[in-house]
C-alpha cells in the first residue's frame, strides 16, 4: 500500500485498539469495514489490498460523522515546499558567503572554501561509518538535532488534535504514525539536506565568478612553518585531481616562491579560482547530488510501498478474518507441567478469543537449565499466531535462566510473531493464600524480568480461572502487542 493508505490504516488501528468511552467507532463499525472491504476487493485479493480498502472505507464513514477525522486522515506527512525553501535559502547563503575576503587576496592555504570541502568530507565519512555499523545495531541511530528540526518543520507534527489525554486515539495515532513514517521522513530529510549542501556549494562557486567579473582577485600564500616545496606538495594532493581532470597544472615550488606574501603582490587568481571551483564541484556538488538522488529514490519507493509491519497481532487478526485462516496459539512451558485441566481451560479461552477454528498446541516442557538451546520440537513447523511462554509464580524469576529462555525463544520466532508470557499463580496461591503481600512481591519480581525483555505478561490462576476472563486476558495481550508494534 502507499503512504496515504497506510495513514488510513494506522488511524483506524488507533481507534480500534484504544479504549476511549467517547470514540465514534465501535465493534459494529469494525465488522462492517471488514465485510465491506472483503466484498470490494474479492476473496482472491492479498492482505495488503484488503487492509488498504478497509482503511479507506472506514475513513470515509468516519469523515461523514466528524470532519476532524477526514482532515486527520488526509493530512500530509511531508510539506514539499519546506525542501524547496531550504534549498533556495542555502543557495542564497552560498552567494552571500565571502569566499575570498575583503582584502581580495586568495590565500591558497586559508581559502574559506577549504573548510566547506573538509566539512563535507567528514559528513561522507560519518555516512560511511553509519552504513558499516547499521547491521550490528539493535536500535536505529537517533537522528541528529538538524535532522529532527527539519523533520518537525516539514513533517506533520503541527497537526491540531482534539484531545491530549494519553488514552486518546488521536494521540495514539499521532505517535504511531510518527513512528511508522520515521524511515520515510528520514529519507526525505536526507534528500533535502544533501540538496541544500549542494546548493550552498553552487552558490559559493557562483559568488566567486560573479565577484571576479568586477573585482581583481590576487592569489598568494603565507606560512610560518611551510616552505614552497611543502606548499606545492599539499596543493598537488588537494587540488591535483581537479587539475588533472581539467587539464591544468599545479605551479611548481619555484613559481609558488614568487607568490609568497607579503613580499609578493601575488598573481591573477583566475586559474586558482578555477581549481578550487572544480575541486568543490567534485567533492561537494557531485557527491551530494548522488546522495540526494539515492535518498529521493528510496523515499519514492517507501511512499509507493509503505513499510507497514503487517505481521503484528492487530493486522494478523484482520487478515485471519479476511482469509478464513485459523489462529494457532502455541504454549511453551518452562520448568512447568501443564495439567490436562489447564490445557482444556487454555483451549476454551483460545476458542472464545479466536473463534471455533482456532487451535492450541502445547510443547513439551523446557527443563530448568536447558534454556540456551531450545529442543527441536519447541516451536511448530507452521508459524503460530501467538506464542505464550508459560511460567509458574512459585519459581523465583532469574534473568540468567528465565530471561535467557525468553531471549532464546524470541530469537527463533518468525518475524512478526507476537510473544507474551502467562504466569500461573495457582500453585503459589495454594501455598501462600493468606499472604497477599508476598504474592504481590513475587509478581513485581516477575514483572521486572519480563519487562527487561519487552515481553507482555499476564498473571492468571489456571486452577480457578473463568474461560471468558482468560480470553479477555489474551485479547488484552494481543492489543498491547499491537500498540507496541507487535512482534519481534
Q: Are residues 209 and 329 in the same domain?
A: no
Q: What is the mean pLDDT of residues 182-196?
A: 93
Q: Report yes or no: 313 and 481 within 8 Å, Cβ to Cβ.
A: yes
Domain housing 106: 80-304
Greater confidence, 137 or 403? 403
Q: Is 418 helix (H, G, I), strand (E, B) or coil?
A: coil
Q: Are residues 398 and 278 in the same domain?
A: no
Distance, in Å, from the CA atom of 127 to the CA atom of 142, rounded to the nearest integer, reads: 14
Given this model, what pLDDT does residue 390 score? Answer: 92
Q: Are residues 110 and 246 in the same domain?
A: yes
Q: Is residue 56 part of a domain?
A: yes
Given this model, what pLDDT does residue 158 score? Answer: 41
Strand order in the sheet with 267-268: 105-107, 218-220, 267-268
Distance, in Å, from the CA atom of 409 to the CA atom of 455, rounded to the nearest integer, reads: 11
DSSP 333: E
* pLDDT band, very low/low/confident/very high, at 482 (cuts 50, 70, 90): low
Q: Is residue 300 part of a domain?
A: yes
Q: Are residues 256 and 335 in the same domain?
A: no
- DSSP assignment of 48-60 equals HHHHHHHHHHHHH
Greater confidence, 478 or 194? 194
What is the CATH number for 479?
3.40.50.2300
Q: Is the pLDDT of residue 486 over 50?
A: no
Q: Are residues 460 and 353 in the same domain?
A: yes
Q: Is the pLDDT of residue 34 over 80?
A: yes
Given this model, what pLDDT does residue 487 score? Answer: 38
Record the cell numbers describing residue 381, joined without a space: 513447523
Q: Is 38 helix (H, G, I), strand (E, B) or coil?
A: helix
Given this model, what pLDDT does residue 54 score? Answer: 93
Q: Are residues 320 and 177 in the same domain?
A: no
Given this model, what pLDDT does residue 121 score? Answer: 93
Q: What is the mean pLDDT of residues 311-331?
A: 76
Distance, in Å, from the CA atom of 285 to the CA atom of 201, rounded to the nearest integer, reads: 7
> Where is the domain boundary, 304, 327, 349?
304
Q: Is residue 126 part of a domain?
A: yes
- Lowest mean per-residue pLDDT among 70-74, 85-89, 360-364: 70-74
Q: Report yes or no: 346 and 462 within 8 Å, Cβ to Cβ.
A: yes
Share of the chain above pLDDT 70, in %: 90
Buried b (16+ CB within 10 A) or exposed e, 443-475: beebeebbeebebbbbbbbbeebebeebbebbb
Q: Are residues 134 and 23 in the same domain?
A: no
- Lowest mean per-residue pLDDT among 55-64, 135-144, 334-343, 471-480: 135-144
Q: Is the pLDDT of residue 360 over 80?
A: yes
Q: Is the pLDDT of residue 298 over 80?
A: yes
Distance, in Å, from the CA atom of 84 to the CA atom of 75, rounded to the nearest integer, reads: 19
Q: Are residues 296 and 162 in the same domain?
A: yes
Distance, in Å, from the CA atom of 184 to the CA atom of 308, rounded to the nearest integer, reads: 11
The enclosing H or E element of 385 equals: none
Q: Are residues 59 and 93 in the same domain?
A: no
Q: Which of these, 316, 317, 324, lies nearest to 415 by C-alpha position?
A: 316
* pLDDT band, very low/low/confident/very high, at 479 (cuts 50, 70, 90): low
Number of domains in the chain: 3
> Where is the domain boundary, 304, 338, 362?
304
Q: Are residues 390 and 469 in the same domain?
A: yes
Distance, in Å, from the CA atom of 4 to the CA atom of 74, rounded to the nearest integer, reads: 7
Q: Is 289 helix (H, G, I), strand (E, B) or coil?
A: helix
Q: Report yes or no: 140 and 125 within 8 Å, Cβ to Cβ.
A: no
Q: Which of these, 319, 312, 344, 318, lies nearest to 331 by C-alpha position?
A: 344
Question: Which residue carries 475513513 as its cell?
Answer: 59
Q: Is 435 helix (H, G, I), strand (E, B) or coil?
A: coil
Q: Report yes or no: 462 and 391 within 8 Å, Cβ to Cβ.
A: no
DSSP 391: E
Q: Is residue 488 part of a domain?
A: no
Given this model, what pLDDT does residue 322 score? Answer: 79
Q: Is residue 109 part of a domain?
A: yes
Q: Report yes or no: 342 and 467 within 8 Å, Cβ to Cβ.
A: no
Greater confidence, 141 or 443? 443
Alpha helices in 324-466 (DSSP H): 340-354, 404-412, 426-432, 436-452
* pLDDT band, very low/low/confident/very high, at 9 (cuts 50, 70, 90): very high
Q: Is the pLDDT of residue 112 over 50?
A: yes
Q: What is the mean pLDDT of residues 463-487?
A: 70
Q: Are residues 265 and 406 in the same domain?
A: no
Give the phi and the psi of residue 332 in degrees, each rounded to 5.
-125, 100
Q: What is the mean pLDDT of the chain?
A: 84
> Where is the domain boundary, 237, 272, 304?
304
Q: Are residues 423 and 390 in the same domain?
A: yes
Given this model, what pLDDT does residue 137 score? Answer: 66
pTM of the model: 0.72
Greater confidence, 362 or 357? 362
Record the cell numbers describing residue 332, joined without a space: 511453551
pLDDT per residue as tens digits for the range 114-169: 889 989 999 999 999 988 887 666 566 677 777 878 888 876 544 434 444 555 78
Distance, in Å, from the CA atom of 36 to the CA atom of 28, rounded to the nearest integer, reads: 12
Q: Which of these, 338, 376, 356, 364, lies nearest to 462 by C-alpha position?
A: 338
Given this model, what pLDDT does residue 316 score? Answer: 73
- Lowest mean per-residue pLDDT among 67-71, 233-237, 244-248, 253-257: 67-71
- How far is the first Cα of the chain from the last one, in angstroms, to the nearest whole number? 22
Amino acid at each position: 500500500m502507499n503512504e496515504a493508505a497506510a495513514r488510513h490504516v494506522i488511524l483506524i488501528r488507533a481507534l480500534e485498539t484504544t479504549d476511549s468511552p467517547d470514540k465514534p467507532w465501535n465493534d459494529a463499525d469494525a465488522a462492517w469495514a471488514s465485510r465491506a472491504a472483503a466484498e470490494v476487493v474479492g476473496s482472491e485479493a492479498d492482505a495488503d489490498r484488503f487492509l488498504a480498502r478497509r482503511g479507506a472505507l472506514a475513513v470515509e464513514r468516519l469523515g461523514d460523522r466528524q470532519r476532524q477525522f477526514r482532515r486527520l486522515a488526509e493530512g500530509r506527512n511531508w510539506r514539499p515546499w519546506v525542501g524547496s525553501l531550504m534549498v533556495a535559502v542555502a543557495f542564497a547563503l552560498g552567494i552571500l558567503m565571502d569566499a575570498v575576503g575583503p582584502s581580495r587576496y586568495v590565500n591558497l592555504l586559508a581559502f574559506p572554501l577549504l573548510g566547506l570541502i573538509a566539512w563535507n568530507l567528514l559528513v561522507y565519512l560519518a555516512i560511511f561509518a553509519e552504513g558499516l555499523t547499521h547491521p550490528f545495531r539493535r536500535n536505529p541511530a537517533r537522528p541528529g538535532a538538524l535532522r529532527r528540526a527539519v523533520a518537525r518543520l516539514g513533517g506533520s507534527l503541527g497537526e491540531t488534535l482534539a484531545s491530549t489525554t494519553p488514552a486518546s486515539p488521536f494521540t495514539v495515532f499521532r505517535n504511531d504514525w510518527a513512528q511508522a513514517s520515521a524511515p520515510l521522513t528520514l529519507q526525505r530529510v536526507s534528500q533535502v539536506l544533501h540538496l541544500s549542501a549542494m546548493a550552498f556549494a553552487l552558490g559559493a562557486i557562483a559568488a566567486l565568478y560573479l565577484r571576479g567579473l568586477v573585482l581583481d582577485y590576487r592569489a598568494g600564500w603565507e606560512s610560518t612553518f611551510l616552505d614552497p616545496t611543502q606548499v606545492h606538495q599539499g596543493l598537488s594532493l588537494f587540488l591535483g585531481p581537479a587539475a588533472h581532470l581539467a587539464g591544468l597544472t599545479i605551479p611548481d615550488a619555484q613559481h609558488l616562491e614568487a607568490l609568497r606574501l607579503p613580499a609578493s603582490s601575488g598573481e591573477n587568481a583566475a586559474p586558482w579560482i578555477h581549481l578550487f571551483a572544480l575541486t568543490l564541484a567534485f567533492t561537494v556538488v557531485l557527491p551530494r547530488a548522488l546522495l540526494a538522488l539515492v535518498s529521493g529514490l528510496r523515499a519514492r519507493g517507501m511512499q509507493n510501498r509503505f513499510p507497514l509491519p503487517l505481521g503484528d497481532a492487530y493486522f494478523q487478526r484482520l487478515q485471519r478474518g479476511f482469509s478464513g485462516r485459523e489462529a494457532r496459539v502455541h504454549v511453551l512451558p518452562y520448568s512447568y507441567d501443564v495439567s490436562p485441566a489447564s490445557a482444556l481451560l487454555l483451549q476454551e479461552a483460545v476458542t472464545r478469543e479466536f473463534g471455533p477454528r482456532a487451535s492450541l498446541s502445547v510443547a513439551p516442557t523446557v527443563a530448568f537449565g536447558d534454556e540456551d538451546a531450545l529442543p527441536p520440537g519447541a516451536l511448530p513447523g507452521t508459524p503460530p499466531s501467538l506464542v505464550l511462554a508459560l511460567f509458574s509464580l512459585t519459581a523465583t524469576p532469574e534473568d540468567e535462566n528465565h530471561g535467557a529462555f525468553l531471549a532464546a525463544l524470541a530469537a527463533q520466532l518468525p518475524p512478526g510473531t507476537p510473544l507474551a508470557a502467562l504466569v500461573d499463580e495457582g500453585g503459589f496461591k495454594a501455598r501462600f493464600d493468606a499472604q497477599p503481600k508476598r504474592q504481590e512481591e513475587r509478581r513485581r519480581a516477575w514483572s521486572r524480568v519480563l519487562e527487561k525483555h519487552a515481553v507482555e505478561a499476564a498473571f492468571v490462576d489456571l486452577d480457578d480461572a473463568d474461560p471468558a476472563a482468560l480470553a479477555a486476558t489474551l485479547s488484552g495481550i494481543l492489543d498491547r502487542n499491537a500498540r507496541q508494534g507487535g512482534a519481534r
